[in-house]
Amino acid sequence: MMHDRNRMKLLWAVSSVGKGHIMRDLAIVNQLRILADADIDWLAPDPAGEFLRNRGENVLECSSRLAGSGKTYEQVFSGCTDEFNLMEYTRADTQLHKHDFKISATAWKEKNYDVIIGDEAFWLLTGFASRWEKKPAPFIFLTDFIGTKAMRSRLRDLLTAWFNNLRFSFSHMGPDLYLYVGDAEEIPDEKLGFLLPGRRTWAQKHCRFVKPVVGFDPGAIEGKRALRKRLNLPQDGKLFLANIGPEGKYEQRVAIIEQVFENLKVDFPDAYFIITCPEAGTKEWIQYHQFLDNLYQYYAASDAVITQSGYGKVAELSALGIPFIAIPLEHHFEQEYVMGHRLAHYGLGKLITLRDHNPKDITASVTRLVDGEMEAIEVDTGVEVANIILNRKR
């Protein structure tokens, strides 16, 4: 079948560190297909590549030759026990930017794209900012954090963060448009480092701000009772849900959440408990799932949620107005430092670190939240960014 020359063709590169990026990208892509019947090729290293292929997306073959992003993340933290110091990851990943940029360049040399989009695809950002090759099309970069931060006062980490932020302060030279997914006021108002610009000041100067993106319309969600009936969940009593990711020694995190649920069961004996985690636990009264399709519907049916502090899940809970506890991976500057400022700005949920809180503390926090009200934030289903991309077509 011949390709329609008038059909918009996009190259979309996505980091594989967390599925939050992929889910917002798919929401935007869905709108692009509705609005313009856009044709999308993906640059996506595994595990993102595998996730997208399973959803029928066209992941380019050269994606398998990308060495950084999610692959590096998994290699660095494969033996991790309780610390997710991203300085280790950024040191390893930055060294691979040139390799991955050159691999990616084969994609646009084989096809003509109208726009290239990079969702935290830092290898493309670095490559275009460094002028390793001339941009073959307008380049749009999406992110939800500004710069890095050392979470430990180790000289090596402090130097890594400073040099990363020095390079970052010139990164606006790469894209034709720099999109920040969120509000300027959620960005910490502090310097990127000695003699470097402020995080928020830099973003206000170089970024265009867009609303958080989720893949559903919060206004179209049924009432809690009707939703529980459709999902075959108990219609009466409290519903508590927890998400535990696969990183590091996740069994320890599962055991902590099980203890929290044990404590909650004392005060809420008729409650229903769900945990999504890599492997089922041992409590017969807890429903364990490795995966729940359309997880946001289960969020909407819940009275309180304990989630890992990643962008995607927090955005969905914030859009729904469901009370939640966000637990970051230990010393993970994005999940702990950045997310902490985001939640404080919007007045949402509560961020709790496991190193500073025991199950009793977490139980008390959930109990305080469960009957409270949380005002949902305004989000977008991908239409806003889709229209921005359509207006950037060369």
Number of neighbouring beta carbons within 10 Å of residue 149: 23
Top-confidence range, 93-102, 195-204, 341-350, 373-382 = 195-204
Q: Give residue-wise pLDDT tens across range 169-193.
A: 999 999 999 999 999 999 999 999 9
For residue 119, being part of any structural domain is answered with yes
**Least confident piece of the model among 126-130, 282-286, 309-313:** 309-313
Is residue 232 classed exposed, middle or buried when 0-12, 13-18 and 19+ CB atoms within 10 A define those classes? exposed
- In 3D space, the residue among 379, 368, 329, 382 whose CA is nearest the CA of residue 352 turns out to be 329
User: How many domains does one find in the chain?
Assistant: 2
Residues 262 and 153 placed together within one structural domain of the fold? no
Is residue 44 classed exposed, middle or buried when 0-12, 13-18 and 19+ CB atoms within 10 A define those classes? buried
Long-range contacts of 291-298 (CB under 8 A, 24+ apart): 294/216, 295/243, 296/214, 296/215, 296/216, 296/320, 297/221, 297/227, 297/231, 298/231, 298/233, 298/241, 298/274
Residues 303 and 197 placed together within one structural domain of the fold? no
Range of the domain at 74: 9-213+380-390
What is the mean pLDDT of the segment spanning 82-94?
A: 76
What pLDDT, on the 0 to 100 scale, is given for residue 93?
A: 78
For residue 13, being part of any structural domain is answered with yes
pLDDT band for position 74 (50/70/90)?
A: low
Say whether pLDDT at 3 is over 60.
no
Residues 17 and 105 placed together within one structural domain of the fold? yes
Q: Give residue-wise pLDDT tens across range 221-257.
A: 999 999 999 999 999 999 999 999 888 788 899 999 9
pLDDT band for position 71 (50/70/90)?
A: low
Q: What is the mean pLDDT of the chain?
A: 91
Percent of the chain exceeding pLDDT 70 equals 94
- 182 CB-near residues (< 8 Å, 6+ apart): 144, 209, 210, 211, 212, 342
Residues 274 and 152 placed together within one structural domain of the fold? no
Residues 165 and 84 placed together within one structural domain of the fold? yes
- Distance in angstroms (rounded) separating the CA atoms of residues 393 and 134: 17
CATH of residue 257: 3.40.50.2000
For residue 293, being part of any structural domain is answered with yes
Residues 151 and 273 placed together within one structural domain of the fold? no
Residues 42 and 153 placed together within one structural domain of the fold? yes
Say whether pLDDT at 89 is over 80.
no
Residues 225 and 361 placed together within one structural domain of the fold? yes
- DSSP label at 195? T
What pLDDT, on the 0 to 100 scale, is given for residue 394?
A: 54
What is the mean pLDDT of the segment spanning 72-91?
A: 69
Residues 66 and 190 placed together within one structural domain of the fold? yes
Say whether pLDDT at 4 is over 70.
no
For residue 310, being part of any structural domain is answered with yes
- 223 CB-near residues (< 8 Å, 6+ apart): none
Say if residues 67 and 29 touch (Cβ distance below 8 Å).
no
pLDDT band for position 72 (50/70/90)?
A: low
Say whether pLDDT at 330 is over 90.
no
Residues 172 and 228 placed together within one structural domain of the fold? no
Say whether pLDDT at 17 is over 80.
no
The residue type found at 50 is E
What pLDDT, on the 0 to 100 scale, is given for residue 2?
A: 38
For residue 3, being part of any structural domain is answered with no
Say whether pLDDT at 384 is over 80.
yes
- 191 CB-near residues (< 8 Å, 6+ apart): 197, 198, 199
Say if residues 345 and 185 touch (Cβ distance below 8 Å).
yes
Say whether pLDDT at 41 is over 60.
yes
For residue 375, being part of any structural domain is answered with no
Residues 200 and 233 placed together within one structural domain of the fold? no
Say whether pLDDT at 76 is over 60.
no
Residues 31 and 134 placed together within one structural domain of the fold? yes
For residue 4, being part of any structural domain is answered with no
Say whether pLDDT at 79 is over 70.
no
What is the mean pLDDT of the segment spanning 335-360?
A: 93
What pLDDT, on the 0 to 100 scale, is given for residue 280?
A: 87
For residue 43, being part of any structural domain is answered with yes
- CA 119, distance to chain mean position in Å, is 10
- Is pLDDT larger for residue 197 or for residue 46? 197
What pLDDT, on the 0 to 100 scale, is given for residue 1?
A: 33
Specify the pTM: 0.93
